[in-house]
Amino acid sequence: MTTATFTQSPTEQLGELHLATFRVGKLLTGIDIRHVVQISRVQEITPVPHAPTSVLGVINLRGEVVTEIDLGVLLGLSPIEITAEARQVIVLVAGEPVGLLVDRVADITVVRRETIDPRPENLNGCDARFFCGVYQQEAELLAVLDLEQMLAAVGDHAGPS
């Protein structure tokens, strides 16, 4: 599976992609902004026993119960520390809102599609399955997340080592 899985959209036809970018540990990573519902401070999380390790628990998002996932754990990096800079990114995937905990929000970056390179085999030690490509931004690499692929892997107990 090497093909990028972006859905067709007017933006894509124009060849432009808007990415909400943020940091997980040292990694700079981005999500197609059309998936993002909101970005907010980390709120109180109710832990769910027996949940997969990357799931921190559930939160009350305006009356809806939303699953909160530690993106650090999911990507095989260290868990997110809840500091003043940590944020939850609420994304809508397959009709269901999911909260992703990140260390810090970076910026919104507009990239042209053809400038996104195919993903390398290994990216700062985390599982490359979850990325659909990388983009050279100034001195560093911006890894573009494949949300559907990534969220489908939440239950995998094997997980990235």
* Cα end-to-end distance, the chain, whole Å: 20
Residue 111 Cβ vs another protein, minimum distance, rounded to whole Å:
29
HSE-up (13 A, CA, CB side) for residue 154: 19
Q: Which region, judged by CB under 8 A, interacts with another protein, from 31-39, 52-60, 100-108, 136-144?
A: 52-60
Q: Which region, judged by CB under 8 A, interacts with another protein, from 20-28, 54-62, 108-116, 117-125?
A: 54-62
Sign of CA dihedral 80, 85, 91, 96: positive
Q: Work out whether 40 is an interface residue with another protein (CB under 8 A).
A: no
Q: Work out whether 101 is an interface residue with another protein (CB under 8 A).
A: no
Q: Work out whether 15 is an interface residue with another protein (CB under 8 A).
A: no
Q: Work out whether 44 is an interface residue with another protein (CB under 8 A).
A: yes
Q: How many residues bind another protein (CB under 8 A)?
A: 25
Closest by Cα among 88, 103, 109, 95 to 38: 88
Residue closer to another protein by CB (options 42, 134) is 42
Q: Are 57 and 37 in contact (CB under 8 A)?
A: no
Closest by Cα among 117, 156, 130 to 27: 130
Three-class secondary structure of residue 135 per DSSP: strand
Binding site for another protein (CB under 8 A): 44, 46-52, 55, 57-60, 63-67, 69, 94, 96, 98, 151, 154-155
